[in-house]
């Protein structure tokens, strides 16, 4: 029973991504709300730290997760870590697109995109060795052939830098800029620019960039400027004033970068639709689209 209930929630909630029927959507949201209650109660009680493999992430994707961690628990109980973002991507992605997942973590975005890009490609960047192992496992569980994993971080120049695993229940907080947060351990990892990678690998298309790298966003963008000017991808970026401050900049620097390239910011609303964003949030995902 312990595993049957969350499996039921994941299956039912996954239908919210694909339905276009408003009445069905309202009914399904009742189950989503109930699953969130179970998720919150489970988080309060805690969970044994142990990897499990589910087989119905996004309805039929296999995925190794740890339900004792923040993202793993969200996916285990509700089927999602970020719901509105998936709604938007499901409607936006086309089968032949190229999707760059910068800060791929355990692969929820890379897997979600790869399922839809039957004739396209996912470029997944994850420099942290421990989490990259899980990413590889999740790709192999689904036999996806359209995901290429890069073991480097992205920045504005090639080199190496210490990446820190943060002492926290959230598994997505590894950063080059720990600030006041406690570092559990650190590793020296390679850095490259997206511009150099595209030149070296002879990639000739880029449609979407998802970037969430805990303070490294601005330098990664600066190292992607030529590619963005050439291919004009839509960008989903995590705005986080705390991690930006630890790295020595602010969201206004990010806004200035995009403005110089002729991009405008949008907030993801209900049903995955976009609304022009006049003021950036202190924390949250923002979509930047070229004008």
Q: What percent of the chain has pLDDT over 70?
A: 99
pLDDT confidence bin for 184, thresholds 50/70/90 = confident
| Residue 45: band (very low, low, confident or very high) from pLDDT cuts 50, 70, 90 | confident
Per-domain boundaries in the chain:
1-80, 82-290
CA gap 149, 96 in Å, rounded: 18
Strands (E), 58-182: 61-65, 98-102, 121-125, 147-150, 153-154, 159-166
Is 80 exceeded by the pLDDT of residue 2? Answer: no
For 12, the token pair is 């039912």
CATH number of this structure's domain 82-290: 3.40.50.150
Report the length, in residues, of the chain: 291
CA distances (Å), origin 35, targets 19, 39, 45, 53, 83 = 18, 6, 15, 19, 13
> What are residue 174's phi and psi, to 5 degrees?
-60, 135
Q: pLDDT (tens digit, 9 = 90+) per residue, 263-280?
A: 999 999 989 999 999 999
Residue-wise pLDDT for 17-35, tens only, equals 999 999 999 999 999 999 9
> With contact defined as beta carbons under 8 Å apart, do 209 and 257 qualify?
no
Q: Residue 48 — pLDDT band, cuts 50, 70, 90?
A: confident
Task: Give the pLDDT score at 43.
Answer: 86
102 phi, psi to nearest 5 deg: -95, 110
Q: What is the pLDDT of residue 170?
A: 83
Alpha helices by DSSP H, listed for 178-216, are: 194-201
Q: 167-181: per-residue pLDDT in tens?
A: 888 888 899 999 988
Instruction: Quick: pLDDT tens for 104-127.
Output: 999 999 999 999 999 999 999 999
Q: Tell me the whole-structure pTM to 2 decimals.
A: 0.96
């Amino acid at each position: 029973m312990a595993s049957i209930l969350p499996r039921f929630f994941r299956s039912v909630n996954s239908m919210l991504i694909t339905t276009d029927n408003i009445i069905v959507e309202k009914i399904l949201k009742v189950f989503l709300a109930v699953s969130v209650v179970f998720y919150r109660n489970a988080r309060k009680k805690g969970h044994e730290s142990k990897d499990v493999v589910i087989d119905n992430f996004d309805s039929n994707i296999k995925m190794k997760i740890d339900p004792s961690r923040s993202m793993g628990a969200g996916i285990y109980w509700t089927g999602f870590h970020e719901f509105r973002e998936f709604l938007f991507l499901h409607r936006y992605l086309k089968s032949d697109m190229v999707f760059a997942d910068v800060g791929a973590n355990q692969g929820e975005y890379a897997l979600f995109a790869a399922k839809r890009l039957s004739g396209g490609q996912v470029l997944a960047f994850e420099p942290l060795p421990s989490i990259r192992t899980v990413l590889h496992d999740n790709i192999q569980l689904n036999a996806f052939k359209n995901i290429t994993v890069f073991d480097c971080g992205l920045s504005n120049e090639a080199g190496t830098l210490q990446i820190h695993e943060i002492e926290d229940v959230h598994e997505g907080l590894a950063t080059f800029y720990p600030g006041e947060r406690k570092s559990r351990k650190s590793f020296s990892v390679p850095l490259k620019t997206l511009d150099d990678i595209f030149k070296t690998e002879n990639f000739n298309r880029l449609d979407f960039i998802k970037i969430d790298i805990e303070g490294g966003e601005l330098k990664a963008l600066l190292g992607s400027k030529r590619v963005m000017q050439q291919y004009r991808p839509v960008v989903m970026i995590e705005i986080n004033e705390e991690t930006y401050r630890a790295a020595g900049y602010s969201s206004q620097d990010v806004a200035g970068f995009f403005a110089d390239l002729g991009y405008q910011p949008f907030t993801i609303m209900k049903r995955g639709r976009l609304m022009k964003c006049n003021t950036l949030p202190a924390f949250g995902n923002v979509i930047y689209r070229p004008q």
